A and B are shown apart, each in its own frame.
Chain A
Amino acid sequence: MFEAKLIQGNLIKKIMEGLKDLVTEANFDLSPGGVSLQAMDSSHVALVALMLRGDAFENYRCDRPRSIGMNLVNLSKVLKCAGNDDTMTLKADDTQNNITLVFESQAEDKYAEVQMELMDIDSEHLGIPDNTYDAIVKMPSAQFSQIVKDLSSIGDTVTVSVTKDGITFSTSGDVGTAHITCKQNTSMEKEADHTTVNLEHPVTLTFALRYFVTFAKSTSLSHQMSISLSKELPVMVEYAMGDMGHIRFYLAPKIDDEESMDDS
C-alpha cells in the first residue's frame, strides 16, 4: 500500500510542467524514503532526476518499494482536475494496476477523486555517481529563465562559460550574437537573490538551448537554482525544493564545432 498526502497539491502540477515536455512516460519509484523518478528523453540527451522525500509529505506511507509507470501527458491532464490550493493525496494499492489521486479544497467543500491506469514501462535505472564539478553557479531561478528565454529567440545553442568573474551565456543566430554575463553578487538582502560562483577551473561548454528552455519550466519550484559544470561532463541544473527534495536535470553537451572542424 502506498499513500501520500501533500498539502500543497499544486507542487505536483508545477513539477509536471517541467517534466512532461522532456519525457512522455516514466516510472515513479516509491520507497519508504520517498518518491523518486528518473527518466531520459527519447534521444538520450537529457535526464531528469526528481526526488521528493517522504517526510516532506503530510502523510507518507509506503509498505514496500515499487515502481509505477505513468504517462506524464495523461497525468498532467488528470492534474487539471485539481484546484491550485487543493491538497492532494496519492494512493496506490500494491495489488492493483492503477493509482488514485484525491484532490480536496482547503475549505473542504470540494472533493475530487481520479483514478488512472498505470503502465509497464521498460526502463533502466541509471546510477548517477557523485561528481565534483569544476564550477557551480547559483543564481535566481527567474533570472536564469529570462536569460534562456531571451537567448532562445536568437539562437539554437548556448555556450556557457564560467570564469572567476561570473557566468556568461552566449548564442548566435541569423539575427546576430548575444552574450549575457551574470557577475557574482551577494549584496542583496535575501539570499535567494544572490548570484554566487564557486570555481575550481574555468569551464566552457555548449548545449542545445531548447533543453534549457524546458528545464526553466521548473522555475516556479524554487527561488534559486544552480548550474554545475565540468569539462566533458553533462551539466547539472538543479532546482532544490528546500526539505522537500529536488529536481535535477542533466544535459549532455554538444560537440564543439571547433573541435569537429579541427578534425575534419
Chain B
Amino acid sequence: MRGRVRVSCLVSALLAAPRQSLCRWRSACDRRLTAAASRIPPPGSASRLPPAMKQRSIASFFGSPVVGARGGPSSSGGDGGRVKALEPGAAPKRPGDEPKPTSKPQAAQARSPPKGKRPSQDYGVDAPRKPKRLRKAKGQGKAAQPEGVAAEEDVIDSQMESPRNEEGRGQAASVADVAGACLADSGKEDGSQGADHSDTESDADSRTSASSESEVSAENLGGRKAGKNGIAEPGGGTPGKGKATRSPAAKKRGKKKAAQSKAGKVEGVGAASEAAAALYSEFKEEDYEDWDAAKGAPYKVLTDTFQKIGNTTKRLEITLLLTNTFRRIIKRSAGDLLPAVYLCVNRVAPAHEGLELGLGDATLIKAIAQATGKKEALIKSQYEESGDLGTVAVSARHTQRVLFPLPPLTISGMFQAFKAIAMAQGSKSQDQKKQMIGKLFVSSKGNEAGYIVRSLQGKLRIGLAEQTVLTSLAHAVLLERDSTSGKGSLAERLEKAAQTVKQVYSLCPTYNVVVPALLEHGLDDLSKHAPFSPGMPVRPMLAKPTSGVSEVLDKFSDCAFTCEYKYDGERAQIHVWHDDAGKQKVQIYSRNAENNTSKYPDLVARMASCLKEGVKSAVLDCEAVAYDIQQKRILPFQVLSTRARKDVTVTDIKVQVCLFCFDCLYFNGRLLFQEPLTGRRQVLNSVIKEKEGEIQFAKAMVSREVEELEGFLNDAVAAGTEGLIVKTLDATYEPSQRSLNWLKLKKDYLEGCGDTFDVVPIGAWHGKGKRKGGYGSFLLAIYNPGLEELQTICKIGTGFSEEQLKELSDQMRGYVIGKPKKYYSYGETLIPDVWFDAKAVWEIKAADLSISPVHQAARGMADPSKGISIRFPRLVRVRDDKAPEDATTAEQVTEMYQQQTLVQAKKKSRRDMD
C-alpha cells in the first residue's frame, strides 16, 4: 500500500488558491537545474511581502526525478513568478559543491586540479578521481556533469607541503618591493615557468575539456600564452622580447645579481614587465562577464584565485592572477574592490586601528563542530593529522545535506562578516563569533570554507605578499581605468603605476582612502587624493646591519654621513595635530604601525610642553627608552618590556620613559619625506624643546675618522645603547624601506656577525644528564615571508644557564604540538623530539653564517639548493615584543651571508697583497 501524504504549500496566498510549484530541466545540455517557480499574488497582497519574494520547490533540491517530471505548463503561466536558475549538481546532496552556473569555467578549473607531478594543494576536488559519485549523479538523473561532483575528503591542502620551486624564488621581490625589482625578479623565474608549464599542460587541457563551454578563464589563458609567447619554452624555445630563456647557470647568476642589487633601484624596464605587459594584452573582454553586478562579486572569485595563487610560487604568475581578478571586479562591480583588497591582505581595517582577526584554534574548532554537527574531538584529531584547519573545515562540510542551498557568499559580505567577527566584544562575544562563523561555514561551498578558516586564523598562507597585492591593484587600475592615458610603453606604465601605488600607500597606509581614490581619480593624481595625514602611521624607515666600522666607511666612501646612538627601546612614531574642533591630539605608533597611545599616557601628557611655540602639527620619529631619572641614565630594553602594554594610567607607571627623537616627517602641514636628513633635523630642532629625562635629541656626531667612529661607538655602548645608526645626510626618508642610507652598527660586531637574529623556536630535544627533565637544545627558524614558511637556521644548545634553560623549557612546554606545522621547513636529518607552535621569538647572536646541507634558511637564495645556517648561536634575550612574522627574514639572512663573504674576500685580498 502506498502511503501518500499531501504536503501543501504553505504560503499564505496559496491557501486560497493553491498553485503547484515546480521545477524542471530547462534543457539537457544546459546542465543547469532550473527551478521555475511561479506564484500568482493574491489580490491586495504583498503590501508587506518583500518584493524579492521567491518561491522554490523543496523537492528540486533533493533532485528527485519525480520533481523533474512534475515540471508542468503552469510554470510558464506565472505572471509574477521569476525563473530562478538553481545551482547545478543538486547542491543539497553535496553541500560542498559550488554550482554557480554563471561561473562555469572557473568551477571546472577549480575541480580539476593538476594531474601533473605537483600534488594538489587546493581545497578542490579531482573530478576524474571520483567516477563513482559521478555515475551515481547520473543515475539519479541530475547534475550529470563533472561540476556536480562535490569537493570531498581527498582534499589535500597546505601549500607548505608542496615541493617548492626547485630553483627557489625571487625572494628579493618580497622585500625590495619596488615594482621594477618585483617584476625583474619574477623575470628570472620565467625560465622555470616555461618548464613547469609542460607539467601543467595536460591539466590545462583537461580543464578546457572539462568546461563545457569553450571559455577558458583569463588566468588560464594567460598561463598558456606565457608558454606561447616564449618567455621561455621548455628546452629553450623562441626567446621573447627580453632575454628570457636562460640556462640554469645563467638563472643562478641572475638571481645573485638581483639579490645584490635589490636596494630598490629599478634598472630600466625589465624583460619581465614587458612579458607582463604582453600577458595583460591577452586579457579579453569576454573573460569577465561572470556575475550579477547587483548582487556583488561572489567570494568564490577570490577563493579560486587564492587557490591558483597557492599553486604557484612564481611572483609574475601570482601578480597576473590577482591583477586579472581585480580587473574583473573593477569591470563588474568596482565597489567590491576595496573589500577584495582587504580580503587579499587578510585584514579588516587599516593596521593602525588594531582590529584583527586571528582567532584561536579552539574557537574555530568549536565553530566548525557546531556548524557541521561533528564532534569537537573528531575535528581536533583531524586537525592534528592534517595540520590545516582549512582542510578539516572543507571535508567536514560534507556530511550534512541542506534543504536549500544558501545564497553564495559575496566578497563584500565576507568582509563585513569578518569585520563583525573582529569587532565582537563583551561577555557573549565568543558565542556571537561562533555563530557568525557557523553561518559562514554553512553558506560556504567548495574551497571557500578552507579560506574562511585560514582568514580567521589570520594567515592565508598562499604566498601572497602585500606588495604583490599593491602591484596587482596598480596594474588592474591602470589597465581598466587608465589604459589609454600616459606615455611610454605599457610595460613602463605598469612599472610606474606599481611604484606610484606603493609609494602612496606607504604614506597613506589605508586602503579605505587609496582604493576609492584609485577608482575615482586614477593613478595620475593619486598622491593628491590619498595624501599623508597626521594620525595615520607611516611604516618607519629601517636600517641595514653592517659588520663593522670599516664596512660603513666603505659604503659611505663618497658621501657625507652622521652617526647617532642606537637606543635600545621601542620605536615610537609620534603624531601631534589638531583635530577639526581645534583640540590637540597625540597618537603614538609602534614600529609595526600599531597604536601604542594607550601604552604611553605619560608621553602623551608630556608632548604639549615639549613642543615649541607655533607647532600645530608634527610627526616625529623617536625611540622610547626606559630611563632612570635619579641616576640620569638609560635602562636596558628588558626594563621597558616590563611596562604594561595597554590602557596604562599615568599614576601606575613604574618605568619612566625618555623619548629620543631623531627624525621629523611632517611639520605644520608640510611633508618632509623628500627633504634630506639635514633639512629634517633642522625642522626637528625647531619643533622640540629638549628636556633632560623627558625628551631629548638622539646623540649624534659627524666624522670620517675610523678611530673617532670607534670611539663614538664605544661611548654609545657605554651609555647603554645598542650601538650606532649611521645615516647619509642627504638621504630622503624612505618609509618601510630597509635602506642602504641607514646602517646599523651594533656593539657586538666584533664578536662575529654584525647583527643579531630574531628566530622562532619550533622544536626541541629532551635534555640529558644534568638537563634531564627539561629541554637540552632547541631548533630555531627564521621567517620567509614570500613562502610564508619558517625555515630552520640552527640548533641551539649552549649559551644559557641551567636556570634560564629551565625557564625556557617551562615556557615552551605550553607550545608543544603533535606534529610540525605544514609551513615548517626543516632538514630530514634533524628532527627534534618535540615540535612547538610558532609563538615565541628569541634574539640570538652568532659567530658566522655558512651554507648548510641540513638547514633550510633562505634555501635556494644564496645557494641554488642549500640553505644557510649560523654557527655558535647564543641566546641574547626573549623578544616578547615580536611575533614570529617579525623574525629575521630569509632575505636578511641571505644578505648577511653575502656581506660576510664579501668582507672575507676583501680581507683575503688584503692579506694577499700584504
Write the residues of chain A forming the contact surface with B, with a CB cutoff of 8 angstroms: 29-34, 36-38, 40, 42-47, 49-51, 64-68, 94, 120, 122-136, 156-157, 198-200, 208, 210, 228, 230, 232-234, 236, 248, 250, 252-255, 257, 260, 262-264
Q: Mark B43-81, 1 if CB is under 8 A from A, else 0.
A: 011011110111111110011101100100000000000
Per the bound structure, the CA–CA distance linking A125 and B49 in Å amounts to 10
Per the bound structure, the CA–CA distance linking A40 and B10 in Å amounts to 13
A51-B10, A129-B67 given; A65·B45 CB < 8 A: yes
In the bound complex, do residue B403 and residue A250 qualify as a contact, i.e. CB atoms below 8 Å apart? yes
In the bound complex, do residue A255 and residue B400 qualify as a contact, i.e. CB atoms below 8 Å apart? yes
Q: List B contacts of A36 (CB < 8 A).
A: 10-12, 15
A127-B21, A260-B152, A263-B132 given; A200·B55 CB < 8 A: no
Per the bound structure, the CA–CA distance linking A157 and B375 in Å amounts to 11
Q: How far is the CB of A141 from chain B (nearest CB, A)?
A: 17
Per the bound structure, the CA–CA distance linking A131 and B374 in Å amounts to 30
In the bound complex, do residue A44 and residue B15 qualify as a contact, i.e. CB atoms below 8 Å apart? no
Question: What are 29 contact pairs spanning A and B, CB under 8 A?
Answer: A29-B10, A38-B10, A40-B404, A43-B439, A45-B400, A51-B10, A65-B45, A67-B12, A123-B50, A125-B54, A125-B55, A126-B58, A126-B404, A127-B58, A129-B7, A129-B67, A130-B8, A132-B5, A156-B375, A208-B400, A232-B63, A234-B403, A248-B7, A254-B400, A255-B398, A260-B153, A262-B132, A263-B152, A264-B154
Q: List B contacts of A49 (CB < 8 A).
A: 10
Q: List A contacts of B400 (CB < 8 A).
A: 43, 45, 208, 252, 254-255
The contact of A124 among B53, B67, B94, by CB within 8 Å, is B53
Q: List B contacts of A230 (CB < 8 A).
A: 64
In the bound complex, do residue B16 and residue A127 qualify as a contact, i.e. CB atoms below 8 Å apart? no
In the bound complex, do residue B49 and residue A67 qualify as a contact, i.e. CB atoms below 8 Å apart? yes
Q: List A contacts of B152 (CB < 8 A).
A: 260, 263-264
Q: List A contacts of B404 (CB < 8 A).
A: 40, 44, 124, 126
The contact of A120 among B50, B59, B439, by CB within 8 Å, is B50
In the bound complex, do residue B5 and residue A131 qualify as a contact, i.e. CB atoms below 8 Å apart? yes
Per the bound structure, the CA–CA distance linking A36 and B11 in Å amounts to 7
Q: List A contacts of B8 (CB < 8 A).
A: 51, 128, 130
Of all chain B residues, which has the CB nearest A30? B12
Q: List B contacts of A156 (CB < 8 A).
A: 373-375
In the bound complex, do residue A130 and residue B6 qualify as a contact, i.e. CB atoms below 8 Å apart? yes
Per the bound structure, the CA–CA distance linking A40 and B67 in Å amounts to 21
Per the bound structure, the CA–CA distance linking A30 and B52 in Å amounts to 18
In the bound complex, do residue A126 and residue B4 qualify as a contact, i.e. CB atoms below 8 Å apart? no
Q: List B contacts of A210 (CB < 8 A).
A: 373
In the bound complex, do residue A65 and residue B42 qualify as a contact, i.e. CB atoms below 8 Å apart? yes
Q: Mark B363-406, 1 if CB is under 8 A from A, else 0.
A: 00000000101110000000000000000000000111111111
Q: How far is the CB of A133 from chain B (nearest CB, A)?
A: 6
In the bound complex, do residue A31 and residue B62 qualify as a contact, i.e. CB atoms below 8 Å apart? no
Per the bound structure, the CA–CA distance linking A45 and B6 in Å amounts to 21
| Interfacial residues of chain B within 766-824, with CB under 8 A of chain A in the complex | none
In the bound complex, do residue B402 and residue A44 qualify as a contact, i.e. CB atoms below 8 Å apart? yes
Per the bound structure, the CA–CA distance linking A40 and B64 in Å amounts to 20
In the bound complex, do residue A250 and residue B58 qualify as a contact, i.e. CB atoms below 8 Å apart? yes
Of all chain B residues, which has the CB nearest A173? B375
Q: How far is the CB of A93 from chain B (nearest CB, A)?
A: 12
Interface status of B706 (Cβ within 8 A of chain A):
no
Per the bound structure, the CA–CA distance linking A253 and B21 in Å amounts to 22
Interface size on B, residues (CB 8 A): 68
Q: How far is the CB of B120 from chain A (nearest CB, A)?
A: 14
Q: Mark B396-426, 1 if CB is under 8 A from A, else 0.
A: 0011111111100000000000000000000
Pairs A-B, 7 closest by C-beta atoms: A127-B21, A29-B12, A31-B12, A33-B15, A198-B3, A136-B3, A43-B442
Q: List A contacts of B3 (CB < 8 A).
A: 132-136, 198-200, 228
In the bound complex, do residue B55 and residue A47 qualify as a contact, i.e. CB atoms below 8 Å apart? no
In the bound complex, do residue B401 and residue A236 qualify as a contact, i.e. CB atoms below 8 Å apart? no
In the bound complex, do residue A236 and residue B4 qualify as a contact, i.e. CB atoms below 8 Å apart? no
Of all chain A residues, which has the CB nearest B92? A252
Interface status of B882 (Cβ within 8 A of chain A):
no
Interface status of B543 (Cβ within 8 A of chain A):
no
Q: List B contacts of A31 (CB < 8 A).
A: 12-13, 15-16, 42
Of all chain A residues, which has the CB nearest B53? A125
Of all chain B residues, which has the CB nearest A32? B16
Interface status of B465 (Cβ within 8 A of chain A):
no
Q: List B contacts of A124 (CB < 8 A).
A: 53-56, 404
| Interfacial residues of chain B within 1-50, with CB under 8 A of chain A in the complex | 1-16, 20-22, 37, 39, 42, 44-45, 47-50
Of all chain A residues, which has the CB nearest B4? A132
Per the bound structure, the CA–CA distance linking A216 and B133 in Å amounts to 34
Interface status of B130 (Cβ within 8 A of chain A):
yes
Q: List A contacts of B37 (CB < 8 A).
A: 127
The contact of B45 among A51, A66, A127, A157, by CB within 8 Å, is A66
Per the bound structure, the CA–CA distance linking A122 and B53 in Å amounts to 8
Of all chain A residues, which has the CB nearest B60? A129
Interface status of B450 (Cβ within 8 A of chain A):
no
Q: List B contacts of A253 (CB < 8 A).
A: 401
Per the bound structure, the CA–CA distance linking A134 and B62 in Å amounts to 15
Extra A-B contacts (18), CB below 8 Å, given A45-B401, A125-B11, A255-B94: A29-B11, A29-B12, A29-B13, A36-B15, A42-B438, A43-B438, A47-B58, A122-B50, A127-B20, A128-B7, A128-B9, A129-B21, A129-B57, A156-B375, A228-B5, A236-B5, A248-B7, A255-B400
Per the bound structure, the CA–CA distance linking A43 and B70 in Å amounts to 27
Q: How far is the CB of A46 from chain B (nearest CB, A)?
A: 7
In the bound complex, do residue A255 and residue B50 qualify as a contact, i.e. CB atoms below 8 Å apart? no
In the bound complex, do residue B64 and residue A126 qualify as a contact, i.e. CB atoms below 8 Å apart? no
Interface status of B649 (Cβ within 8 A of chain A):
no
Q: List A contacts of B57 (CB < 8 A).
A: 126-129
Q: Mark B91-118, 1 if CB is under 8 A from A, else 0.
A: 0111000000000000000000000000
Interface status of B202 (Cβ within 8 A of chain A):
no
Interface status of B557 (Cβ within 8 A of chain A):
no
Q: List B contacts of A94 (CB < 8 A).
A: 47
In the bound complex, do residue A125 and residue B39 qualify as a contact, i.e. CB atoms below 8 Å apart? yes
Of all chain B residues, which has the CB nearest A155? B375
In the bound complex, do residue A129 and residue B22 qualify as a contact, i.e. CB atoms below 8 Å apart? yes
Interface status of B901 (Cβ within 8 A of chain A):
no
Q: How far is the CB of A205 from chain B (nearest CB, A)?
A: 10
A66-B45, A252-B402 given; A126·B154 CB < 8 A: no
Interface status of B483 (Cβ within 8 A of chain A):
no
Per the bound structure, the CA–CA distance linking A40 and B57 in Å amounts to 14
Per the bound structure, the CA–CA distance linking A43 and B761 in Å amounts to 41
Per the bound structure, the CA–CA distance linking A32 and B45 in Å amounts to 11
